[in-house]
Structures are given as structure tokens and as C-alpha cells.
Amino acid sequence: MAGGVGSRFWPKSRNHFPKQFIDILGLGKSLLQLTYERFLQICPNEQIYILTNESYADLVKEQLPDILTSNILLEPSRNNTAPCIAYASYKIAKINPAANIVVAPSDHLILKEEVFLAKINEALTFSSQHDALLTLGITPTRPDTGYGYIKYQDGSIKYLEKNSEDSEVKKVTAFMEKPSLENAQKYVVSSDYVWNAGIFIWSANSIIKAFQKYVPEISDLFEKGISYYNTEKETDFINSNYPSSQNISIDYAILEKADNVYTIPADIGWSDLGTWASLHHVVDKDEDGNASSCQHIHLQNTNDCLIQLPAGKAAVIKGLSDYIVVDDGKVLLIYPKSDEQEIKAVAGKMVADFGVDYQ
């Protein structure tokens, strides 16, 4: 899934060039490219599909030149995650009704890739054997109030993978919205909660049955296109029908209602990189806790700051503590890290006051 606008990374992430296409980690590759390369270790290129807004088609082709054009699924409107997952699921099921599917955001960080790949393969084995909807649950490292949580049963379901020891899958009992700090602290202490990372594993058959049962208005819409998927008429069908699909997340549409949801807890060095502060948390920092992307910088009495400047730009900073400093060439943002939840609203105010160039 690569269609989001990443508004909390404003001003570097904009409508015309959102977070997933940015080399935000300074590795020479965008988050989309890193995600694509990660999944090449799971399945071949021709079995990887990119779901994105139609306005990003050229960006996807530029950054992933090896991806098949037919595997770039273009959304004519932003209707949240349930419709885009339904679209991909019906398209894939027409090719292979027995397919297993991994759904993953394109803009997340995973530091422990070997563990991640092992957990995904474990989940694929389970989903191929059971009518199940799986999530990869992230073992919490702190009582974070910015993530949703998943509660699972103490007991586990054991199954035998080929040529391996018993593996364990947990039965999900509840999805919890972003909690208060007090509740988040309780969740971490209890050890039977995981973060909801939005990474899902299921068979095409299982997820389509779930759409039919819990959101028939979505399944009815996309089932009308079965004769068009993977033909030259697919684009016209999607452009005509997709905008009228229900605007709803997969969590609300299905996962919070279904009784066959499971999770595999995983410590994979994960971050959704949803905010500047979350980026600051994972990147390398100097002895004063500053993370800077520029080579020519002079800091005095400055600590715990995230500083991102255009290539070739120097900076002299004195007396800042716990700040975000981002210059994208058009906009300079200097903002307290503790108030970063305001940035999305600030970006909207800039657009309202000064025009869409700041969107």
C-alpha cells in the first residue's frame, strides 16, 4: 500500500511527493524501494503489487523500474484501506484462487529483516492451512500512545511447519484504539498486547469470504468487476466504480468484527515512521542526542534535535532542545518535538493562508 500522503512529515512529505517516495533515512533509497526489496525475498517480482493513488503512477514507475505496469493498481480516489485491499484481493484471486497474500504498508521501517522474513513465512504457512486472518503483532518496547494495540489470548495455537519445530499463533480477542498513557502502561506490563502494525497475512479465499460477510457493499462492488480484472477493461471499471466504494479501514470493516483473527507476536525492529519524533528515535544520533542529515553543521548547547536540510546547505544552531528543524527548500519548519501532533494542522493552515503550493 503506497497511496498515503504522509502529512505528519510535512514539509518534506507533500501531496505531490509523499513519505513513501522519500529517502527519509538517508540510505540512498526511498521507503518504498526498501519495502519492495524486502519482499523480493518472499516472492518474485511478478507477484508483487503496488496499490497507490493514480497521481503517483509515474513516481512508482520511476522508483521501481522492474515492477510490471499491470501490477501497479491505481486508485482514482482515497477511500482508506478496505477498498484498496478488496481491489487487490479480487484481482489476485482471479489469477490464483488459492493465493496467499501479504498486505503491508510501503513506508515502515524494519531493522530485523531476517526475523521479519521468518515471521512472514510462518504466517503464510498458517494461512495456507487455516481459514484465518493474521496480523503481525509488534512486541511493544514502550507504553506508546500513538499506536493501536491488539489483545490476544494467553494460550496459543500450535501447528507443525514442514521441516521445522512447532510454531505458535495467538488468537486475537480485541483491537484497542490508541490508548491513554495509563492504559498503554498497563498493556505493556500485561505482556498479552502487541502493537497493530497494519501488516496482514491471509489467503485470497479467506479475505474475500470476510468481505462478503462483514462488508457486503464492498464485496458486491468489486465482484461486479470479476470479468474485467487483468483485462484491458479493468482500468475503466475501477475508475467508474472505485470512488463509490465505502471509505473505511480494514480494521473497522473486518478485523474488529471477525472471529477468525490471529496474531504472531514479533520483535522485528519496527517503526511506522509516522512522525518526526519516531524517525528521531531510530536514526543515529550524536552524543547530545542530535540527528542531522547535513555535513556542515555547528551546534552549541543543542540537544535531542532532529535536523534535516537540503544537500549542500550548512547550519549554525545554538540553544535548541528537543526540536524539529526541517528545510525542504521551500518551507523551513522549526517546531518543538513535544508539539509535533500539531504539524498536520499547521500544514493545513499554511495551505489555507498561502495556497496549494504548501500542500
Least-confidence region, from 68-77, 127-136, 152-161, 275-284: 152-161
| Band of pLDDT at residue 142, cut at 50, 70 and 90 | confident
| Band of pLDDT at residue 162, cut at 50, 70 and 90 | very low
pTM: 0.90
| Band of pLDDT at residue 156, cut at 50, 70 and 90 | low
pLDDT tens digits, residue range 172-185?
999 888 889 999 99
Query: 200 Cβ partners below 8 Å, 6+ apart?
Result: 85, 102, 103, 104, 133, 134, 135, 136, 250
- Which CATH architecture best describes the domain 19-271? Alpha-Beta Complex (3.90)
Angle, nearest 10°, between helix axes 204-214 and 81-95?
Answer: 130
Average pLDDT over residues 228-245: 97
Task: Inform me whether the pLDDT recorded for 205 exceeds 50.
Answer: yes
At 77 the pLDDT is 96
> CA-CA distance, 134 to 118, in Å (whole number)?
15
The mean predicted confidence, pLDDT, of the chain is 92
pLDDT tens digits, residue range 300-341?
999 999 999 988 899 999 999 999 999 988 899 999 999 998
> CA-CA distance, 201 to 338, in Å (whole number)?
35
Nearest Cα to 268, choosing from 103, 104, 148, 115?
115
> CA-CA distance, 36 to 47, in Å (whole number)?
11
Query: What does the domain layout of the chain look like in residue ranges?
Result: 19-271, 276-358
Percentage of residues of the chain with pLDDT beyond 70: 96
Number of Cβ within a 10 Å radius of residue 291? 19
At 40 the pLDDT is 97
CA quadruple 235, 239, 245, 251: dihedral positive or negative? positive
CA quadruple 4, 74, 131, 212: dihedral positive or negative? positive
Average pLDDT over residues 213-226: 98
Residue pair 347/7 in contact by the 8 Å Cβ criterion: yes
